[in-house]
Amino acid sequence: MWTETLSDDQQILAQKLATSVAKQLKTQLTQKNKACLAVSGGSTPVEFFNRLSQQELDWAKVTVILVDERWLKTDDVDSNEKLVRDNLLVNHAKTAYFLGLKNDALLPSEGIMDCETQLRTQVESLDVVVLGMGLDGHTASWFKDSKQLSALLDADTSAWCLPIEDDFLPQTRMSLTWRFIKRAEKMYLHFTGEEKNIVFQQACIEKSEGLPVSHILHQDGINISVYRTQ
């Protein structure tokens, strides 16, 4: 199930989300003396990243990872890692530890073992996950026509991440799996705009592989906080 936080203003929404995420991270730091935050790419989270980076907490004990990544050089303009480094790992958050999904392999399918090993050796579990949503209803790199979709959504898969190499995508990708994400202490879905509101309302009706984001909304025992403009 899900709860919703709405705002007419994207900046106010970003501030509310940043405040909530920081509170969750502080709770985990108090309880475990460390925390892991998984974030998404795209244009929507930029303001949220900026606001979150200004939150005062013990960032040196926070590990930041990506929900998914395009298989590009990490200084490419479309790299999610570059987006996070430029907009989140600044201000107070510049001392956080960043663990990227991209490695030196030519293709994600060739780099999957190293990526999986890095995650398993450096991340015990996810504490906070902030997902986004595309106009086609995808979240993470879970696309409706992907050959990997069923594996990505399989709650019992052994994989924490999987390579995405579908021909219809302009770039190959690496994505976290639902099996890994579902264990997070707190999960958010953040998006803005009327077009995405329409997609979201469709996803609220029922779980559908045609709208992968619906998968996270219709899970017993999984509570997700939706932050969106109205």
> How many other CB atoms are found less than 10 A from the CB of residue 11?
12
Beta strands in 105-171 (DSSP E): 128-131, 161-164
Quote the pTM value: 0.97
Residue 68: how many CA atoms within 13 Å on its side-chain side? 25
Report the CATH fold assignment for 2-229.
Answer: Rossmann fold (3.40.50)
The whole-angstrom separation of Cα 192 and Cα 13 is 9
Residue 72, pLDDT score? 98
The mean pLDDT of 120-131, rounded to a whole number, is 96
pLDDT at residue 121 tops 90:
yes
Q: Is 155 left (phi over 0), alpha (psi -120 to 50) or beta?
A: alpha
| 37 DSSP β-pair partners | 64, 128
Residue 6, pLDDT score? 98
**Domains in the chain: boundaries:** 2-229
Report residue 1's pLDDT band, with 50, 70 and 90 as the boundaries: confident
Query: Where do we find the tokens 């398993």?
Result: 120
Query: Where do we find the tokens 């949503």?
Result: 133
- CA dihedral of residues 37, 41, 44, 48 (deg, nearest 10): 30
What DSSP designation does 128 have? E
Residue 166, pLDDT score? 98
For 61-111, what is each residue's pLDDT tens digit?
999 999 999 999 999 999 999 999 999 999 999 999 999 999 999 999 999
pLDDT at residue 131 tops 90:
yes
Query: Where do we find the tokens 């999987």?
Result: 162
Residue 29, pLDDT score? 98
The mean pLDDT of 167-192, rounded to a whole number, is 97
